[in-house]
């Protein structure tokens, strides 16, 4: 109403009609797996867009999938949003797979760029903690739950509920063009400007969008979100796990180093925290634990490397299985698995092995090394005392039989700071 007043006044006075103020649109870009940091980012962006009074929030999406809990959080955030939400699957070649399907269909308006895809929303593909522990009955229940969830989302937004159910039960995936024909999405836009043009005059509830010619303000991730986006990765968790292993075992093999133990303890706590978020396969963890035990045993048992070879195989299989139920985008790449396996094997063979062997070597320094050595007498040694010279130092010495200066004696015992010596026969002169 406040925009109509100047228009009416201008019409009555026969002056040019003033232009309406340009609308603002917020934009965020989600590229990669969906995780806790993504959910936090979207929630914060919606709050900023609502506070600024923006026409809508555009979420440009390109994801292979992600975590179930984070996906549910994003869907609920869309439902309670005070600003219209638009999910735009872009650029060309992008996809809204697995968890991305739920997110796209949950938005007020769903758009895709040409040559993009959506679908494959089976719950096994959406990382769910504990999925490896489910039997067939429980997996069926999880599938039924995911099916009912996406059906409810589609019905709430007026989209194709039948296809949505198929995307869960049969992992169906379709192109943008077919998604538009099946009423899975609302429009296809070649770029952001085209998207704003097509969004103009569309209604979201009681709100009519005015986005033609709107200025677009990007909302970037804050440093904490970028940090958590980086940390909540299986590669980072594997690095922390290796740091915990190397640090704690390094401290045990070389007691008193302190730093390896501190680093290992901190890394272990972070691994335990992250394992409560990322779906970790317990069988993979057990195989890695078995590998560590085999490495340690082989350092003491004369197996000629058989147990070490078994440890390498066990560690490789464990690392390969560790995130196999975590869904697309949350699995360890094969090069990372191979590198971690070889690095761990080398650590135990060369570092831990050398440290443990050093602890069992005979003493090579200190007072104990002086026993049995032959040294010359510096000042006459008898039962009352005397002096000998050894390793650059003067020591008090006693002997049951007197020994004159220059004569050789052998150290037979150490009593505090006094050496007990015995005389040796002088070497006969040659010639």
Domain co-membership, 85 together with 129: yes
State the SS3 of the chain: CCCHHHHHHHHHHCCCCCCCCCCEEEEEEEECCECHHHHHHHHHHHHHHHHHCCCEEEEEEEECCEEHHHHHHHHHHHHCCCCCEEEEECCCCCEEECHHHHHHHHCCEEEECCCCEEECCCHHHCECCCHHHCCHHHHHHHHHHHHHHHHHHHHHHCCCHHHHHHHHHCCCEEEHHHHHHCCCCCEECCCHHHHHHHHCCCEECCEECCCCCCEEEECCCCHHHHHHHHHCCHHHHHHHHHHHHHHHHHHHHCCCCCHHHHHHHHHHHHHHHHHCCCCCCHHHHHHHHHHHHHHHHHHHCCCCCHHHHHHHHHHHHHHHHCCCCCCCCCCCCHHHHHHHHHHHHHHHHHHHHHHHHHHCCCCCCCHHHHCCCEEEEEECECCCCCEEEECCEEEEEEECCCECCCCEEEEEEEECCEEEEEECCCCCCCC
- Its domain, for residue 398, covers 367-423
196 and 307 co-located in one domain? no
Last residue of a domain, one of 224, 248, 280: 224
Domain end residue (candidates: 340, 359, 378): 359
The reply to whether 190 and 271 lie within a common domain is no
Query: Of 26-40, 52-66, 198-212, 376-390, which gets the smallest average pLDDT?
Result: 376-390
Looking at the fold, whether 39 and 168 belong to one and the same domain comes out as: yes
Instruction: Provide mean pLDDT across the span 67-94.
Output: 94
For residue 291, pLDDT beyond 80: yes
**Same domain membership, residue 23 and residue 159:** yes
Claim to verify: residue 126 and residue 189 sit in the same structural domain = yes
Nearest CA to 171 among 160, 179, 163?
Answer: 163
Mean pLDDT of 75-93: 96
Q: How many domains does the chain contain in total?
A: 3
Looking at the structure, do residues 153 and 188 belong to the same domain, yes or no? yes
CATH number of residue 65's parent domain: 3.90.226.10
Task: Indicate whether 248 and 192 sit together in one domain.
Answer: no
pTM over 0.75: no
pLDDT of 81 higher than 60: yes
Residue 428 lies in a domain: no
User: Among 191, 224, 257, where does a domain finish?
Assistant: 224
Regarding whether 192 and 68 lie in a shared domain, the answer is yes
Res. 269: pLDDT tops 80: yes
**Which range is most confident: 1-5, 89-93, 368-372?**
89-93
Residue 428 has pLDDT above 80, yes or no: no
């Amino acid at each position: 109403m406040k925009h109509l007043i100047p228009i009416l006044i201008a019409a009555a006075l026969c002056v040019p009609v003033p232009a309406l103020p340009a609308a603002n649109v917020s934009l965020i870009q989600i590229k990669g797996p969906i995780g806790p940091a993504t959910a936090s980012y979207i929630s914060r962006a919606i709050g900023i867009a609502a506070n600024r009074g923006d026409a809508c929030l555009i979420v440009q999406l390109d994801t292979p999938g992600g975590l179930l809990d984070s996906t549910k959080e994003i869907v609920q955030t869309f439902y309670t949003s005070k600003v219209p939400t638009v999910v735009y699957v872009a650029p060309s070649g992008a996809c809204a797979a697995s968890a991305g399907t739920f997110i796209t269909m949950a938005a007020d308006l769903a758009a895709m760029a040409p040559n993009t895809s959506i679908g494959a929303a089976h719950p096994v593909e959406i990382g769910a903690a504990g999925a490896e522990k489910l039997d067939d009955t429980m997996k069926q229940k999880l599938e039924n739950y995911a099916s009912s969830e996406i059906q409810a989302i589609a019905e709430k937004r007026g989209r194709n509920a039948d296809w949505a159910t198929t995307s869960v039960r049969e992992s169906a995936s379709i192109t943008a063009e077919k998604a538009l024909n099946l009423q899975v999405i609302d429009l296809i836009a070649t770029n952001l400007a085209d998207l704003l043009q097509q969004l103009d005059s569309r209604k979201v509830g009681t709100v009519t969008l005015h986005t033609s010619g709107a200025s677009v303000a990007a909302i970037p991730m804050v440093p904490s979100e970028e940090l958590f986006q980086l940390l909540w990765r299986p590669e980072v968790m594997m690095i922390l796990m290796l740091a915990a292993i190397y640090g704690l075992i390094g401290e045990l093999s070389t007691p008193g180093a302190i730093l390896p133990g501190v680093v290992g303890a901190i890394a272990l706590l972070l691994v335990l925290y992250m394992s409560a978020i990322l779906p970790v396969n317990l069988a993979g963890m057990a195989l890695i634990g078995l590998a560590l035990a085999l490495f340690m045993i082989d350092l003491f048992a004369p197996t000629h490397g058989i147990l070490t070879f078994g440890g390498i195989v066990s560690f490789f299989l464990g690392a390969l299985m560790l995130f196999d139920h975590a869904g697309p985008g949350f699995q360890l790449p094969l090069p990372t698995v191979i590198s971690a396996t070889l690095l761990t094997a080398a650590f135990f063979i060369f570092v831990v092995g050398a440290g443990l062997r050093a602890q069992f070597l005979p003493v090579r320094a200190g007072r104990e090394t002086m026993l049995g050595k032959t040294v010359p007498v510096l000042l006459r040694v008898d039962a009352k005392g005397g002096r000998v010279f050894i390793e650059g130092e003067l020591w008090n010495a006693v002997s049951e039989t007197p020994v004159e200066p220059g004569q050789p004696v052998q150290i037979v015992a150490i009593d505090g700071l006094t050496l007990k010596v015995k005389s040796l026969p002088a070497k006969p002169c040659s010639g």
